[in-house]
Amino acid sequence: MPQRHRSVRTLSVLLLSGAMLHGVNAWAKPAKPEAPVAEASAVGPVDDHPVLREIAAQVDPAQLHATIEKLVSFGTRHTLSDTTSPDRGIGAARAWVKSRFEAISKDCGGCLTVVTPAQTVSGKRVPTPTEVMDVVAVLKGTEEPQRVILIAGHLDSRVTDVMNATADAPGANDDASGVAAAIEAARVLSHHKFRATLVFAALSGEEQGLLGGKVLADYAKEQGWQVEADLNNDIVGNTQGEDGVVDNTHIRVFSEGTKAVETVKQANQRRYSGGEVDSPSRNLARYMDSIATRYLDNFSVRMVYRTDRFGRGGDQVPFLEAGFPAVRVTEAHENYTRQHQDLRTEGGVRYGDTIDGVDFPYLAQVTRLNALTMASLAWAPAPLSDVKVEGALRHDTTLSWTKVPGAVGYRAWWRDTLAPSWQHDRWAGDATTVTLPNIVIDDWFFGVAAVSKDGYASPVVYPGPAGSFVAMPDPAGP
């Protein structure tokens, strides 16, 4: 849901480009044509939704605090820790999360199905065969249940030695914060019905090799889920870095630029025609950015053009490797003295991932962003799967697509090739093609979104395999 009239939000860009108002292209050369102005009677359904503001207001920092406090109380949640104790270890933590999902389901009349997909694994960080179990709550969609929008955090925790399964490892921020966000999103969203299915997951085994992410990605494929978005929330509650700087107004969203499952032939096509910055995951990040801009006060997305932080990984990776769009959501300013550390004080510095390092009003904002993104996606039509663009040797560009269920119309978008977000749009109505006069295909990137009668829009889909939210065959030709 890009903003059609979106202002520049940082001083540096403002000084370089002047005011970016009414879709003016801040990166374009003066001679470049501006976007044609659509007539007021042909702009499509209104895309402002009071119910999303109501959902945001229902997110409760006290609920988030209670969840993290409970998870910390289990001492350690290491993947290799005790699975039989009722009050310590990963087994007790999983049982509590399952009971919490079941309580939420009871409050909504049994609307959630709680499942525990698991695999027995072994490897470098799992020396003996160990069951890795996820705890998952499913809110089934009313019209397109095979479409899935998913939020996840990882339940397991660790200290300095990744193999130490007995020492206290509170894991308040890494990643009880992400699990708390998923549980709170389930609590709030379970009182609504959605066109598509919502999934809320607490994963295990992340610290031992992204194991729980693979368990759930495999389960999704076995169930025939069409995962349109995996929002992996990992380390989302801290606002103060080791340097003392506090950033409580931004969240980073990491997204891959080119698909992990891209074929050699598709890569050759992309290198020539473009699409390096328009994977479905990247356009999912743009969607989250637009949600934050419209619905959250003093809180914005900082899009990072990487799959994850440098040299690190997260549970979104197994989803990407399975061909599903996925992003990593992480706080703006990490504090490494609170990650993967034994509990200690050394040189006057306190180390360890304890609950006092979590900023709960900030975590509530992160949770709101996730919940609103999930709701908007689930109320919108599915992303288009066969967008095409033509215009070589012409002054006009033509986009075409196949209709999807639940859409009353389609919106074409385009932006300068250096612009991070979609800038201009044209409402196409209930058509399968639109021609953009005097918009030269060589100078812009293009995409199309499907729009419901209530104005909920799918993410913008870039043409061809590079931008498709579902797997596509290799392009024809040599």
pLDDT at 5 over 60: no
pLDDT at 6 over 80: no
Average pLDDT over residues 374-390: 97
Tell me the three state secondary structure of residue 125. Answer: coil
pLDDT tens digits along 252-288: 999 999 999 999 999 999 999 999 999 999 999 999 9
Average pLDDT over residues 239-250: 96
pLDDT at 42: 63
The 3-class SS string of 442-466 reads HHEEEEEEEECCCCCECCCECCCCC
The 3-class SS string of 156-190 reads CCCCCCCCCCCCCECCCCCCHHHHHHHHHHHHHHC
On average, the pLDDT of the chain sits at 92
Average pLDDT over residues 442-456: 97
pLDDT tens digits along 125-139: 999 999 999 999 999
Q: What CA dihedral angle connects 163, 213, 179 and 457, to 10 degrees?
A: 160
pLDDT tens digits along 356-365: 999 999 999 9
pLDDT at 240: 97
Give every CB contact of residue 335 below 8 A, 6+ residues apart in sequence: 238, 240, 241, 242, 357
Per cent of the chain over pLDDT 90 is 88
Q: Among 28-42, 87-101, 289-303, 392-406, which is the least confidently predicted range?
A: 28-42
* Contact in structure between 316 and 308 (CB atoms under 8 Å): yes
Q: Distance (Å, rounded) from C-alpha 143 to C-alpha 125? A: 42
For the entire predicted model, the pTM comes to 0.91
Supply angle C-alpha 386, 387, 391, rounded to 5.
135
Report residue 274 as tokens.
């473009």
Q: What is the DSSP letter of 282?
A: H
pLDDT at 41: 34
Split at pLDDT 50, 70, 90, the class of 472 is confident
pLDDT at 419 over 90: yes
pLDDT at 477: 63
pLDDT at 23: 36
pLDDT tens digits along 190-230: 999 999 999 999 999 999 999 999 999 999 999 999 999 99
pLDDT at 47: 84
Q: Among 39-53, 304-318, 373-387, which is the least confidently predicted range?
A: 39-53
User: Phi and psi dihedrals of 20, rounded to 5?
Assistant: -100, 80
Q: Which domains does the chain have, with CATH numbers?
A: 50-379 (3.40.630.10), 388-464 (2.60.40.10)
pLDDT at 21: 32
pLDDT at 115: 98
Split at pLDDT 50, 70, 90, the class of 299 is very high
Q: Distance (Å, rounded) from C-alpha 22 to C-alpha 272? A: 31
pLDDT tens digits along 153-176: 999 999 999 999 999 999 999 999
* Contact in structure between 197 and 147 (CB atoms under 8 Å): yes
pLDDT tens digits along 19-67: 333 333 333 333 444 444 433 336 888 889 999 999 999 999 999 999 9
pLDDT at 4: 52
Split at pLDDT 50, 70, 90, the class of 474 is confident
pLDDT at 353 over 70: yes
Average pLDDT over residues 375-384: 98
Split at pLDDT 50, 70, 90, the class of 3 is low
Strands (E), 298-405: 300-304, 326-331, 344-346, 349-351, 388-390, 397-400
pLDDT at 473: 80
pLDDT at 475: 64
DSSP, residue by residue, 18-73: ----TT--SSS-TTSPPPPPPPGGGS-S----HHHHHHHHH--HHHHHHHHHHHHT
pLDDT at 86: 97
pLDDT at 461 over 70: yes
Q: Distance (Å, rounded) from C-alpha 139 to C-alpha 77? A: 26
Whole-angstrom CA distances from 46 to 187, 300, 413, 456 are: 28, 22, 16, 9
Residue 309 one-letter amino acid: R
pLDDT at 8: 35
